[in-house]
Amino acid sequence: MNTSRLPWLRPIVALLLTALFFVPLYFVLTNTFKPGDKIGHSPASLPIPPTLDNLNRVLTRPDGLFWVSLTNSVVITGISVVILTVLSAMLGHYLARSRSRWTRVLTLVLLSGLMIPPQVILIPITDVLRTLHMMTTLQGLILFNVGYYVPFGVFVFSGFIRGVPAELEEAARVDGASRMQVFWRIVFPLLRPATASVVIFLGVWIWNDFIDPFIILGPSQGTTVTTGVYRSIGQYQIDLGGVFAIMFLATLPVLLFYLVLQKQFVKGLTGGATKG
């Protein structure tokens, strides 16, 4: 369809998509600052007058549910993303520069890992972690994240590295630099846009993950911000104001994280789309 003949179509579509994504955010924002007894009766109404009781109740819970969940999520996401970034960049560089036949097979295996949903492999993963005595531990969940998400990181980095001139690496080797020095001093500094894309994507995915922390950590051994929302719902009563407050607080770090790396994120997407 030629949109030049219908100039009104593009802004209408953009407005509808914006409204579609804004509606859930609107409900979270309004109900976070609304008294709990008004949420069930009028969830879409504005919080007039606004209140901070929901946030205060969540932040001062006797069991420290939010603070424990936040600490676990920060540790799990931070360590997982750092390990994934380093491993993916190194492996992506090797696959992009190598021309051997087995590297093509390895690339195909890694790409096939992108098509496997994590729920499909949860049972064998739990068996492996139980054998390694890492079930219900943060280390076990981090190990799972690294193993499952490394194909995506390799895919992004390898595509971006193919656009980096190989002559830069050859010149560094002529000057006596080792392979590791070439990668860390020459190649990796050029991968900032791709690194930002990988960090944002993986950080958001790991931060928002629910089923994997719920199964691997267990409801009684540990919790993240997503499983914390589940644990905040009682068996016989639901504190809707507290639930919306936890969702609001759990979303803030992701929004701030994206805003900080937004420019590099866009560069990484356009660079990965045009290079290779």
Nearest Cα to 191, choosing from 84, 85, 106?
Answer: 85
In Å, how far are 68, 90, 176, 178, 197 from 182, measured between CA atoms?
A: 41, 11, 10, 6, 22
What is d(CA 123, CA 66) in angstroms, rounded to the nearest whole number?
A: 28
What domains can be seen in the chain, in order of their start residue?
63-237+249-274 (1.10.3720.10)
What is each CA distance from 204 to 116, 207, 250, 252, in whole angstroms? Answer: 19, 5, 11, 12
| pLDDT, tens only, 3-59 | 556 677 888 888 888 888 888 888 888 889 988 778 878 888 888 888 899 899 889
Distance (Å, whole) CA 247 – CA 228: 9
Cβ(199)–Cβ(89) under 8 Å?
no
The dihedral through the CA atoms of 48, 50, 54, 57 has a sign that is negative
Q: Give yes or no for residue 87 having a pLDDT over 80.
A: yes
pLDDT digits (tens, 9 = 90+) for 103-152: 888 888 888 888 888 888 888 999 999 999 998 889 999 999 999 999 99
User: Can you tell me the distance from the alpha carbon of 251 to that of 202, in angstroms, rounded to the nearest whole number?
Assistant: 15
Residues 6+ away with beta carbon under 8 Å from 212: 118, 122, 141, 144, 145
Q: Extract long-range pairs of 126-130: CB within 8 Å, 24+ residues apart.
A: 126/215, 126/216, 129/216
> Which among 19-33, 74-88, 170-184, 194-208 has the top mean pLDDT?
74-88
